Copies of this chain bind each other. A is one copy, B any other.
Amino acid sequence: MPKTADKYLEVEPWRIVKKGFHPDRSEISESLFALGNEYMGVRGYFEEGYSGETLAGSYFNGVYEYAPTPVEQGFRGMVNRTHFMINAVDWLYTGITIGGERLDCAKSRISGFVRVLDMRDGTLTRSLIWETTRGRKVRLTFQRFVSMHCANLGCLRIRITPLGFSGSVEVDLGLDFSRPHTLTQTNYWTPVRKKQSRAGAMIMARTQTSGQRLFSSFSASASVPCRRSAISSEKLAGVRLVLSVKDGATAVIDKAVVNMVERDAAKSDGRAWDAGIKSAGMLLDQGYDAAYQKHRAYWENVWRNGDITIDGAPESQQGIRFSIFHLHQAYHGVDPRLNIGAKGLTGEMYWGWTWWDTETYCLPFYLFTNPSAARNLLEYRHSTLPGAIERARQLDCEGARYPMGTIDGSEACSTWQHGDLEIHVSAAVAYGIRHYLKVTNDTEFLYTKGIEVLLQICRYYASRGQWSPRTGEFGFYGVMGADEFHMMVHNNCYTNVMAKKAFEYTLSIIERMRRTAPKQLAAAFRKVRLRSTEIADWKTKARRMRVPIDMKTGIYEQHDGYFDLPRIDVRSIPPRQFPLYKHWAYVRIFRYDMIKQPDVLLLHFFFSHDYSLANKRANFEYYEPRCSHESSLSPAIHSILAAELGKFDKARAYMQHAFRLDLDNYNRNTHEGVHTTSMAAAWMNVVYGYGGMRSDGDALSLSPSMPRRWNSYGFRIVYRGSSLHVLVDKKKVSVTRMDGPDISVRLYGKEVMVAGEISAALPKNRRAR
């Protein structure tokens, strides 16, 4: 899989800077310069419109449509109708006209073009000089932010400076619901109400099949005298400002926008409209500067508590901050009904669905940098429990079967081989709860909500599994594991172990609650109507779960029969045949020992303490050469394990693209949106990889190593209420408690109490040569 960087950005520690305008990369830039705040996200498209190539996407988390026509798949249990996040209102809508000529970077005469994304304060600024065909020159600066402090708020400031003339400039500001969803080339919005005034406009529209409403309102102010008039078309409402500008003087226009989603189709248009107006009334008055101060304060706090520093590798430094930045934009715990899509809110690919990536790849980032956001992610699984129960029922099972992909909690994945066979998602949710408890010890969540989810997950696996007539063991037949290159296999190692762990953890929590929270336990049992035989049944099934392994080598068999699969040397496949899904007949992919992404090795990472270093080594050396890394989530796990095994060259090679996957467009698909969940993997790559952190034990353990080309690196994490700063250089490791109570951690296997700063020498074998 030889990938190459497509470098075109300046390297700076805190900013993403692009000088000059490159139409052929316009959609890539839109992805990189996307802003978001979990509630809404907007790609870095040009406010004033652009007739060239553009994916002018504006997305709202949880706002979706159903596919227009159900697909008749004819077999029971298959999903016939999917749902997906849709392109919504263009609330940045702007038009700039001078002397009857409208600015369009695809056609106009432009110079001094520069874009800056400042990650310290989450602002995107674009400057340019425009010379009209009649020779009028003007400097324009657009600055926007999507408020991290107030989820409904987005702000735009336009600065206009005439260079060599005085006169009038027309500025249209609006809210435009007429944009199509790009993947389907369909617009899903029907306007229901509109109101216009001199100060701004408001408009509310409804989706076609989900019945959701999106209210959008803005007010505009100008620093110079202007004439105002309303502009309107079927799906647009706005205001036209005709400004009187003076040569050399900068006119400033501020547009503050409040967007508000009504998810409940049962709520009347009138109530949704009134709620929008009320909210807009409260939020729009504060003005750009006040809103910006609060937004900036949020980001300052983010960096204070969750920055990663890398000294000696400016590209990696920029890349890891870019990852952290986008992760916070995608999700930071605003609303427990929301979750994280594979592209965050920066594109339409992967349909805005929540996958098992949330618990397996994203959750650790939030656990250690924003624990309340981590809790919200689990609250989402609790609130979507009914959908998971319904899905289990559709597939002739009991309990809770979490969907492969979803927005509203129902299964959206209509590719049945994935949606119906990948039964490991529920176990990932149980793993997420377990991990959350390890790091936060939030028993309140566990006892009131987590336990209910766990019980239903155990019930699901108990009903889904079967007994082997040959070995008398319990296991899962006809599944697809974490590795998606093998379909309808039996006893997938990852799935079996994950379910075994879900059973065992739940049983241990039941034991604990029997002693410490018997009433809450009884309430949970009542709620799920636990049958008297179930707990004993789960114990038996956990105990007798099949874990396929070659006892001689200690190598786990990925599934029954895996060791008999024909061998293929992944390196022998010509690079042009990747991605295989596009170049190989689909059914061919499944008949080799080649895997798409780690399956067995995930277990060695998730449950690090369960496996000896020797066992990790044996399995890594067996499976690593068999992996095609066709999933962008794959390299990070390999890098983390390689670092643990002291295979620093491999660790480095697998990490190579992690930080700059999008910045340097390694996969050549950044134009579709950024790889949000891969960014979470990049964070893990530093903290779990070189940082050597493991969080599956009773205490946090750290065994940092030092890569060859770095001088030092550091990261900040929150663990059980304590804020820690870990700093590693070529000689030593220091751990400093920045905030919170004293905390005990294991440093290189030795338990130490961190009160102030402690440090240890970097062992020789932890330094890459």
Q: In the bound complex, how far is the Cα of B515 from the Cα of A294, in angstroms?
A: 93
Interface residue A416 (Cβ < 8 Å from any Cβ of B)? yes
| Residues in A415-435 with C-beta less than 8 Å from chain B | 415-416, 420-421
Contact across chains for B585 and A394 when beta carbons are under 8 A apart:
yes
Contact across chains for A477 and B585 when beta carbons are under 8 A apart:
no
Task: Evaluate whether A470 and B563 lie within 8 angstroms (CB atoms) in the complex, with A421-B587, A588-B395, A591-B477 already known.
Answer: yes
Q: Who on chain B is nearest to A473 by CB?
A: B564
Q: Which one of B71, B75, B587 contacts A416 once the chains associate, using CB atoms below 8 Å? A: B587
Contact across chains for B416 and A469 when beta carbons are under 8 A apart:
no
Contact across chains for A490 and B563 when beta carbons are under 8 A apart:
no
Please give, as numbers and ranges, the residues of chain B lying within 8 Å of A76 by CB-CB distance: 581-586
Contact across chains for A560 and B566 when beta carbons are under 8 A apart:
no
Q: In the bound complex, how far is the Cα of B596 from the Cα of A617, in angstroms?
A: 44
Interface residue A114 (Cβ < 8 Å from any Cβ of B)? no
Q: Distance (Å) between the CB of A718 and the closest chain B CB?
A: 41
Q: In the bound complex, how far is the Cα of B80 from the Cα of A71, in angstroms?
A: 13
Q: In the bound complex, how far is the Cα of B468 from the Cα of A560, in angstroms?
A: 14
Q: Distance (Å) between the CB of A392 and the closest chain B CB?
A: 10
Q: Distance (Å) between the CB of A79 and the closest chain B CB?
A: 11
Q: Distance (Å) between the CB of A580 and the closest chain B CB?
A: 9
Task: Evaluate whether A478 and B394 lie within 8 angstroms (CB atoms) in the complex, with A566-B466, A586-B77 already known.
Answer: no
Task: Evaluate whether A567 and B396 lie within 8 angstroms (CB atoms) in the complex, with A488-B590, A585-B77, A587-B421 already known.
Answer: no
Interface residue A298 (Cβ < 8 Å from any Cβ of B)? no
Q: Who on chain B is nearest to A487 by CB?
A: B488
Contact across chains for A396 and B468 when beta carbons are under 8 A apart:
no
Q: In the bound complex, how far is the Cα of B490 from the Cα of A490, in angstroms?
A: 12
Interface residue A561 (Cβ < 8 Å from any Cβ of B)? yes
Q: Distance (Å) between the CB of A412 and the closest chain B CB?
A: 15
Give the total of A residues in contact with B, Cβ under 8 Å: 43
In the complex, the count of this chain's copies comes to 2
Contact across chains for A585 and B470 when beta carbons are under 8 A apart:
no
Interface residue A565 (Cβ < 8 Å from any Cβ of B)? yes
Please give, as numbers and ranges, the residues of chain B lying within 8 Å of A560 by CB-CB distance: 561, 564
Q: Mark A558-598 against chain B: 1 for CB-CB distance below 8 A, else 0.
A: 00110111110000000000000111111110111100000
Please give, as numbers and ranges, the residues of chain B lying within 8 Å of A327 by CB-CB distance: none
Task: Evaluate whether A75 and B581 lie within 8 angstroms (CB atoms) in the complex, with A478-B587, A488-B590, A564-B560 already known.
Answer: yes
Interface residue A350 (Cβ < 8 Å from any Cβ of B)? no
| Residues in A363-403 with C-beta less than 8 Å from chain B | 394-396
Contact across chains for B581 and A467 when beta carbons are under 8 A apart:
no
Interface residue A78 (Cβ < 8 Å from any Cβ of B)? yes
Q: Distance (Å) between the CB of A484 and the closest chain B CB?
A: 12
Contact across chains for A564 and B469 when beta carbons are under 8 A apart:
yes
Task: Evaluate whether A587 and B466 lie within 8 angstroms (CB atoms) in the complex, with A477-B566, A561-B560, A561-B561 already known.
Answer: no
Q: Who on chain B is nearest to A71 by CB?
A: B71
Q: Mark A72-88 against chain B: 1 for CB-CB distance below 8 A, else 0.
A: 00111110000000000
Q: Distance (Å) between the CB of A119 and the closest chain B CB?
A: 36
Please give, as numbers and ranges, the residues of chain B lying within 8 Å of A471 by CB-CB distance: 564
Q: Which one of B490, B564, B585 contacts A395 once the chains associate, using CB atoms below 8 Å? A: B585
Q: Who on chain B is nearest to A587 by CB?
A: B420
Q: Mark A463-504 against chain B: 1 for CB-CB distance below 8 A, else 0.
A: 000111111000001100000000110100000000000000
Please give, as numbers and ranges, the residues of chain B lying within 8 Å of A588 by CB-CB distance: 77, 395-396
Contact across chains for A566 and B478 when beta carbons are under 8 A apart:
no
Q: Distance (Å) between the CB of A279 and the closest chain B CB?
A: 41
Q: In the bound complex, how far is the Cα of B584 from the Cα of A394, in angstroms?
A: 9
Please give, as numbers and ranges, the residues of chain B lying within 8 Å of A469 by CB-CB distance: 563-567, 593
Q: In the bound complex, how far is the Cα of B420 from the Cα of A78, in angstroms?
A: 19
Q: In the bound complex, how far is the Cα of B77 from the Cα of A420, in angstroms?
A: 21
Q: In the bound complex, how far is the Cα of B395 from the Cα of A561, in angstroms?
A: 24
Q: Mark A607-650 against chain B: 1 for CB-CB distance below 8 A, else 0.
A: 00000000000000000000000000000000000000000000
Q: In the bound complex, how far is the Cα of B78 from the Cα of A584, in angstroms?
A: 11
Binding site for B on A (CB under 8 A): 71, 74-78, 394-396, 415-416, 420-421, 466-471, 477-478, 487-488, 490, 560-561, 563-567, 581-588, 590-593
17 CB < 8 A contacts A-B: A76-B581, A77-B585, A394-B585, A466-B566, A466-B592, A468-B564, A470-B563, A471-B564, A477-B565, A477-B590, A477-B591, A477-B592, A487-B488, A490-B564, A490-B565, A490-B591, A560-B564
Known: A420-B585, A471-B564, A560-B561. 18 other contacts (CB 8 A): A75-B581, A76-B583, A76-B584, A76-B585, A78-B586, A395-B585, A396-B585, A416-B587, A421-B587, A466-B591, A468-B566, A469-B593, A470-B563, A477-B565, A477-B566, A478-B590, A478-B591, A487-B488
